[in-house]
Amino acid sequence: MKVLVIGCGSIGRRHLKNLAELGISGRAACDLSAARLEQVRAECGVEALHTDLDAALAEGPDAAIVCPVTSAHVPVARRALDAGCHLMVEKPISHTEAGVEALVRDAAAARRVFMVAYSMRFHPGVNRVSGMLKDGRIGRPLSARACCGQYLPDWHPWEDYRDFYMSREADGGGAVLDISHEIDTLRRCFGEVRQVAAMVSHLSDLEIDTDDCSELILRFDSGVVASCHLDLVQRAYRRTLEVFGTEGTILWDYVSQSIQLYTVATGQWELVRHDFDRNRLYRDEAACFLAACRGEGSPPVDGADGLRTLRVVLAAKRASREGRTVEP
Ligand SMILES: NC(=O)c1ccc[n+]([C@@H]2O[C@H](COP(=O)([O-])OP(=O)(O)OC[C@H]3O[C@@H](n4cnc5c(N)ncnc54)[C@H](O)[C@@H]3O)[C@@H](O)[C@H]2O)c1
């Protein structure tokens, strides 16, 4: 199978290395920057390098991994789809709804795989939490709280954060859009979102034109009410998920790689540890995509699902602007 990676920043190069580990010999890379492609040659050992997407697509890749800056996802994915590629598009699917529905529809009509790379779907801790909920370990979930934060200048220490797409609204940056993993996880656990209230704010001194501290309150069709805190300001990386049910509580913590589970049935807290290797997440994700391209299984998040998460993000921004609760 020939796989083209489009956009060779930090995540694109990680995908290229993982493709090699997964036995893909037909790797190609495309980036607007020739200097970036030299880095790809040196770091990832890829020789098929293109600054021109048409030339890259003319080589006939079977699949494309689309990971340029977020605002370029849809136009780049459109060209790869029109060239006949299966698609894995990095999350979030885009920064606006423009062109997304048509892309999803046309990929389905062309019988191409369309996966959105919400990598937390492959996290062993989140998978355990999801399993506990499915098994009814804490009865009926009533309420939940998701949190993720990290100081933006620490994300890409090799570059000035003001030059990073994350600092610019027009490029698809900002906390609520970029850290939409948490919204995807809440949707995975509790179903579709019915109502959104939010304060999407810029509170720090960071020189960015996006939100850096956002608070969302989500009511789901299932009746669950969840809050979601997403920020670019916490000096120590933190990511947690807490779920409160009729028969117990689940507290997951990314950093300590552990889940605390309280159930009425046992009357005590149980500590469940899980191993975690960050790159494994991305390798498992790529393996899942390659399998789907071979017709073995389907992706956990497809284009339509990625669009539903984007609609929650956009609803949060609207709710915040208009100071009212809105529907996604
Ligand atoms: N799933 C995850 O956990 C995860 C992790 C990191 C990044 N991402 C997503 O991946 C995307 C890229 O993030 P990053 O951190 O690698 O960014 P980055 O800034 O490090 O790299 C982006 C690269 O895209 C290139 N580029 C920009 N426009 C292009 C175009 N039209 N065609 C080809 N190349 C283009 C740039 O030259 C740059 O090399 C973002 O959408 C981000 O949200 C997802």
Strand order in the sheet with 48-50: 48-50, 26-30, 2-6, 63-66, 86-90, 114-117
Q: Would residue 297 count as lying in a domain?
A: no
Q: Which of 61, 90, 117 is the last residue of a domain?
A: 117
In the chain, which stretches have pLDDT less than 70?
A: none
Alpha carbon nearest to ligand 1 atom 18, residue: 9
- Cβ 72 under 6 angstroms from ligand 1: yes
Do 280 and 142 belong together in one domain? yes
Q: How far is it, in rounded angstroms, from Cα 57 to Cα 63? A: 10
| Short-list 126, 118, 128, 127, CA closest to 285 | 118
Query: Same domain for 85 and 169?
Result: no
- Asked whether residue 155 falls in the same domain as residue 87, the answer is no
Whether residues 130 and 277 fall in one domain: yes
Q: Are residues 238 and 108 in the same domain?
A: no
Our CA angle for 22, 28, 29, nearest 5°, is: 110
**Cα R_g (the chain), whole angstroms:** 20
Q: Is residue 296 domain-resident? A: no
Domain for residue 157, yes or no? Answer: yes
Q: Which of 117, 137, 155 lies at the terminal end of a domain, its last residue?
A: 117
Is the domain of 113 the same as that of 129? no
Is there a domain that residue 327 lies in? no
Tell whether 171 and 275 lie within a shared domain.
yes
pLDDT, residue 20, reads: 98
Q: Output the pLDDT for position 296.
A: 97
Q: Is the pTM of this model over 0.85?
A: yes
Question: What contacts 315, CB < 8 A, 6 or more positions away?
Answer: 193, 196, 198, 326, 327, 328
In a domain, 298, yes or no: no
Residue 317 lies in a domain: yes
Q: Which two tokens stand for residue 29?
A: 């890379």
**CA-based end-to-end distance of the chain:** 38
Give the domain CATH number at 51.
3.40.50.720
- Both 42 and 171 in one domain: the answer is no
Residue 191, Ramachandran bin (φ over 0: left; ψ between -120 and 50: alpha; else beta)? left
Is ligand 1 within 6 A of the CB of residue 6? yes
Ligand 1 centroid from CA 200, angstroms? 23
Sign of the C-alpha dihedral computed for residues 113, 118, 124 and 127 taken in this order: negative
Position 11 scores a pLDDT of: 98
The per-residue pLDDT for 118 is 98
Claim to verify: residue 104 and residue 134 sit in the same structural domain? no
Final residue before a domain boundary, out of 117, 152, 183: 117
Per the structure, the count of domains in the chain is 2
What residue numbers bound the domain in which 246 lies?
Answer: 124-284+307-322
Q: How far is the CA of 11 from the centre of ligand 1 (A)?
A: 6
**Which atom of ligand 1 lies closest to the CA of 75?**
31
Residue 132 in any domain: the answer is yes
C-alpha span between 39 and 236 (Å, rounded): 29
145 domain-assigned = yes
Q: Are residues 188 and 316 in the same domain?
A: yes
| 55-86 confidence digits (pLDDT tens) | 999 999 999 999 999 999 999 999 999 999 99
Do 77 and 159 belong together in one domain?
no
Please tell me the chain's helix, strand, coil percentages from 3-state DSSP, rounded to the nearest 5.
40, 25, 35
